[in-house]
Every structure is written in structure tokens, then in C-alpha cells.
Amino acid sequence: MARLPDTEAVIRFWFDELTPAPWFRKVLELDGEIAARFGELLAALASGIGHRLEVPWRAFL
């Protein structure tokens, strides 16, 4: 399995790369970027492999 993004990557994206403006609006381009960057991580967590991640899945909550 490819290395998945960690909590720091998600936090950096959300708080450093984005401005608050799109946080609460439907922006299709942003949804696509999130899916491209973090979709594999979401799928891994949803499939129940969180216990095998280097960073505990609970760190994403």
C-alpha cells in the first residue's frame, strides 16, 4: 500500500493552504482536490484499517 497522508498533511491543507471562505460552502473544485489528496486515506479509515496506520486513526477525529 502507498503511504497515506498523515494528520499533519490534512491539518496543513485545511488550515494553511485554504482560507476559511470555502469551509462552509459547496465548492466542487475543492471537493475534487480533497478527494484526490485524501480520498485514499478516507477509504482506508472507512475500511477499518485504522489500527494499522502509523498515526492512530483517532488522531483524525
What the block records as the C-alpha cell of 43 is: 477509504
Q: Is residue 46 a part of any domain in this protein?
A: yes
Q: Is residue 32 a part of any domain in this protein?
A: yes
pLDDT digits (tens, 9 = 90+) for 25-51: 899 999 999 999 999 888 887 777 655
Q: Which residue has the higher pLDDT, 35 or 57?
A: 35
What number is the average pLDDT over the span 15-22? 92
- Predicted local confidence at residue 59, as pLDDT: 55
Q: Is residue 55 a part of any domain in this protein?
A: yes
Q: Is residue 47 a part of any domain in this protein?
A: yes
Q: What is the extent of the structural domain holding 28?
A: 7-60
Torsion of CA 29, 30, 34, 36, to 10 degrees: 20
Q: Is residue 15 a part of any domain in this protein?
A: yes
pTM of the complete model: 0.67
Report residue 58's pLDDT band, with 50, 70 and 90 as the boundaries. Answer: low
The total number of structural domains in the chain stands at 1
Torsion of CA 26, 46, 50, 12, to 10 degrees: -10
Q: Is residue 2 a part of any domain in this protein?
A: no
